[in-house]
Structures are given as structure tokens and as C-alpha cells.
Amino acid sequence: MARITLRQLLDHAAEYGYGVPAFNINNMEQGLAILEAADAADAPVIIQASRGARSYANDIVLKHLIDALAEMYPHIPICMHQDHGNNEATCATAIQYGFTSVMMDGSLKADAKTPADYDYNVRVTRNVVDMAHWVGASVEGELGVLGSLETGMGEKEDGHGFEGKLGHDQLLTDPDQAVEFVKATEVDALAIAMGTSHGAYKFTRKPDGDVLAMNVIEEIHRRLPNTHLVMHGSSSVPQELQDIINQYGGQMPQTWGVPVEEIQRGIKHGVRKINIDTDNRMAMTGAIRKVFAENPGEFDPRKYLKPAMEAMRAVCKQRFEEFGTAGYASKIRPLPMSAMAKRYASGELAPKIGLTRQAAE
């Protein structure tokens, strides 16, 4: 079984200069599509489940689904990650069900709607880090609140996001505070806010530096060269997927996502985990709409889920290639969580602040 922790995987990615897409999962079809793509690209992969996914699929089903995927593809390192954990209990139960990594999103309170203050964020994140590291699991934290710099709004379509409007002070991670946060929490990876938001409606035009503040990533990477950075809301919302959906009866208003070249720029500046859900949702929806439009009499789910899986597999494979993940699965030897727990206990994985990457190695 090739389960890997986020920390081990991202340390490898940093060493070789690549990024790893983190694809959201809710069902068997998505799991098979992700692993077929990883297998074709020889890529390690991060699969992540939101709280919504865990309650949709059921924790037990999800656990056995991931076991099945790991058994089918023993040569592919799979990191199983909790996306946007809202409190300590969500993170603890994820680990109980076989997740090797959790996100404690303390940028929002436990209701996943109310922006939290810095001290609250540090406290809950530190609690999760202590608990997770005892058993060798990894922790992603978030500093700054995800939302649009154009509108000041979060994206509520996924049930996780603030309500109302926020100013740029909350929507952009403060680089100095990022250093303090990593020092205080000892997170393995840090999600930062720089203008991306969840869902399809990120930007009303092709984004430039005013609405997608890649300079914040560069600034944080300069101060924290050894911290793995995470980009949320990083679907590219490809025009061709919007067109397929609309061609076959969908009604998606024109929108723009995060261009792949901006993500590639991020990867050069410490971004190691790139969260993608919307692109895969759109790929599946477009394929299903096409089957229904062309054959309204169809009622065998396999007839539309198979094309949906193929469309999703193509998106995943393309991202593995674009982020440089392809070719690395066979080069990693995953360590068990017990070995990672020993490494944390020895202090060897504590954050190295103020050192260049070379000096830290």
C-alpha cells in the first residue's frame, strides 16, 4: 500500500521543484479517474475530501474506496487529505478514517462562515498540529481568508466561505504574519490568500496582478523558503469546458479561472500543493450533458458516467504534466506514518525559519 503523508510528498516536490495537484473526491468515479491519470503520468497524487464529501460518501465508504484505489495502484503514492477541516474534531476523525493529512482551516471559525482572528487561528491550528504529529500525520494551515479581490466576496457555492464582504487586509495574507504563524503553529504547509476563491466564478476577466496577487506568494516564499505553500481555488475554468457545458444545454455565464501559467509561476516560488475541484466538476458535467443532449433516451448511468470519468481523467493528466508531477511516482518510497511520527518527535521536521533552502538541507 502506498499511502504517503503530505509532508513527505511535499518535501520531495520541493527538492525536485514540482507541484502536486490536490483533487477533490466524492465518489468512486472520481477516484478511478484520478488514479487512472496518476498511473498514466507516473505521478504521486493528493486526494482530498471536504466535510461535504465525507458526509455525502460516508466515512466508511470513503475509507474503503481509498483502500481499494491504493490496492489497485500500489506503485502510486497517495496522500489522503482532509480539505478545509473546520475544527479539531473534524481533523481527528479524518485521521481515524485513514487520512494521512489534514487541513485545519482556522481562517474561519468552526461554522466555516465567520472570519476568525489570528489568535484563534493559531490556537486551533497548533492543537491539530500537536495531535496530528504525534501519529505522523501532516497539517496544512491557512492564513488570510479566501475571496475575490474584485468583489470582496467569498464563494459560498461549496458551503465553505465567509458571508458578506471583506477588505484586502483580510483577503491578502500578510507576509510578516505568515512567518509568525508558521513559527507558532509548526504547520507542514501553509495555504495563503491572494485573490483566488472557490468555484467557477473567480474573475470577471483574465486575471492580472490587481486581482490575482501572485506577488504575495513571492513575498512569502522569500521570507519562508522552506515552507510548502498551498494555492486554493486554483481551477483554471477552461474555456472549452465552459463551451461544452453551454453547447449542451448548460447556462454558465462567461467566467475566468486561475491561468495555468500563473500556477507554474507559483511553483517556482514555493507552491507545492494546488487545489482543484471545479475543473473536474465541469469536465464531468460537460460529458454527461453531451450524452443526454445527443441521446435523450439514455438511462444507463454507466453510459454517461464512463465519458464523465474519461473527461475528468484528461483534466487530471494534463495538470500532472503542467505542474511537473509526472514521472515522480516511481521515485518516491513512502514512509509509514509511524516513521513520520518519530521524525517529528526528534525535531528534525520543525520549521526552519530564516535559513535558505540549501542551508536547511
Residue positions annotated with a catalytic role: 83
**Contact call for residues 81 and 87 (beta carbons, < 8 A):** no
Q: Which of 44, 144, 147, 199 binds ligand 13P (CB under 6 A)?
A: 199
Query: Rounded CA gap, 202 and 211, in Å?
Result: 10
Show the site string, 268-297: x = touches ligand 13P by CB under 6 A, - = not.
-------xxxx-------------------
Whole-angstrom distance, CA of residue 188 vs CA of residue 181: 12
Tell me the window of 50-58, 187-195, 246-254, 323-331 that interacts with ligand G3H (CB under 6 A): 50-58
**Does position 126 bind ligand G3H by CB under 6 A?**
no
Q: Which among 13-21, 55-63, 85-93, 273-281 is the span making contact with Zn ion, rule CB under 5 A?
A: 273-281
Is residue 256 helix, strand or coil?
strand
Binding status of residue 105 toward ligand G3H by CB under 6 A: no
Q: How far is the CB of 306 from Zn ion (least distance, A)?
A: 28
- Minimum Å gap between C-beta 166 and ligand 13P is 17
Q: Does 317 bind ligand G3H (CB under 6 A)?
A: no
CA 250 to chain centre: 27
* String of contacts with ligand G3H for each residue 169-208, x by CB under 6 A: -----------------------------x----------
CB of 275 to Zn ion, least distance (A): 5
Place of cell 466564478: 201
Stretch that binds ligand G3H, among 36-44, 157-165, 286-294, 311-319 (CB under 6 A): 157-165
Q: How far are the Cα atoms of 7, 178, 198, 213, 344 from residue 138, in angstroms, in the given order?
A: 6, 18, 23, 27, 10
**By CB under 5 A, is residue 232 in contact with Zn ion?**
yes
Dist CA 143 CA 166 (whole Å) = 14
Give the three-state DSSP class for 253.
Answer: coil
Please check whether residue 308 is in contact with residue 29, taking contact to mean a CB–CB distance below 8 angstroms: yes
Q: Which does 319 bind (CB under 5 to 8 A by kind): ligand 13P, ligand G3H, Zn ion, none?
A: none
Do residues 154 and 163 lie in contact, with contact meaning Cβ atoms separated by under 8 Å? yes
Q: Does 277 bind ligand G3H (CB under 6 A)?
A: yes
Site string for ligand 13P, 80-99 (x = CB under 6 A): ---xx---------------
The residues facing 102 across adjacent strands are: 82, 139
The number of CA neighbours under 13 Å toward the Cβ of 163 is 6
CB of 63 to Zn ion, least distance (A): 22
Residue 234 is a binding residue for ligand 13P (CB under 6 A): yes
| CB crowding 50-81: b at 16 or more within 10 Å, else e | bbebbeebebeebbebbeebbeebeebbbbbb
- The nearest distance, CB 33 to ligand 13P, in angstroms, is 15
What does the binding site for Zn ion look like in residue numbers (CB under 5 A)? 232, 275
